[in-house]
Amino acid sequence: MKNILVTGGSGFIGSNFVIHMIKNGSGCKIVNYDLLTYAGNPDNLNGVKDDPGYSFVKGDICDQSAVKKLFDGNNFDAVVHFAAESHVDKSITGPARFVTTNVLGTQVLLQAAKESWANAGDTGSKRFIHVSTDEVYGTLGETGYFTESTPLAPNSPYSASKAGSDLLARAYFETFGFPSVITRCSNNYGPYQFPEKLIPLMITNALHDKPLPVYGDGLNVRDWLYVQDHCKAIETVLNNGAAGEVYNIGGNNEKCNIDIVRLILAELGKPESLIKFVPDRLGHDRRYAIDASKIKRELGWEPSVNFETGIRDTIKWYLANGGWWKKLL
């Protein structure tokens, strides 16, 4: 894949993916299409902004004319679609924005890519990677794992909107033979994550000796995936994934929220008295856990960074890059 459209490439996972692809020697060209909402940060890409293989276009995935113009002006080999509203708390207070961006925006992109690639007469070599989340599966009990065949049962407006976009990507494959591929990842962490999410919020609050808010009893479990491992998985799917397939991407790192908070405090030398339990979030899923055996078996990918290493590297990054996150607060 030599000419790739990345939507939401100025966000957390998107920017890490752009940096990974530009610096891995693949020789690809990246067009980053991003509206630069609050979580899209051009500073994430300072290290590659002058690279001849990188270009940026500001725009909205819901803007049909702008998206069509983008495809008309470029011969994209692939689309990697990250752009989405993703903060669950915000979806509870304002669901409409999530439906508009995540569902309608995805449909606009699918249709533009379909028309562009059909006109070029070559869809077999193309790929549309729709980056989704394990949250579309709902919640698990104390045992079991999400597989690619687990029924979708989203419990928040955010996850419902992502499930809707997943189904559109699937429908375009089933109806039109469109080369869409869906990936569903577990919770990501690492550099450039906006400080509203659990790990960067706990790090930045602790550094300011502010209370660390923990929902409910803190025993909600998530499978944590280091963002650079996720980027390598998406590259693997981009190059070798089969059209119409779903691939779960997990980190094999199940952790309770409270254990992560305590680990961060210990690493920073801060007291656990900073922990403040707050009323639980509405519809808060109890446990997520990914079975990523399919992508390992069929494509040869598996995570390489364990949580203990990844979280320490992440803490070090936030300590070394205060200039990046302090202005976001």
Any idea which residues carry the catalytic annotation? 134-135, 158
Phi, psi of 45 (to 5 degrees): -110, 20
Contact at 8 Å (CB) between 238 and 80?
A: yes
Measured distance CA(134)–CA(285) in Å, rounded: 11
Backbone conformation region of residue 57, classed left if phi is above 0, alpha if psi is from -120 to 50, else beta:
beta
**With contact defined as beta carbons under 8 Å apart, do 146 and 140 qualify?**
yes
DSSP annotation of 146 reads B
Q: Which amino acid would we find at residue 213? A: P
Distance CA 300, CA 240 (A): 10
Contacts 24+ apart (CB under 8 A), 102-105: 102/158, 102/161, 102/162, 102/164, 102/165, 103/161, 103/164, 103/165, 103/168, 104/62, 105/60, 105/61, 105/62, 105/165
CB 211 within 8 A of CB 205: yes
Element (H or E) spanning 292, and its range? none
CA distance 26 to 42: 23
CA 32/CA 10 separation, integer angstroms: 7
Whose CA is closest to 108, among 63, 76, 72? 63
Kindly state the tokens that stand for 20. Answer: 């990974």
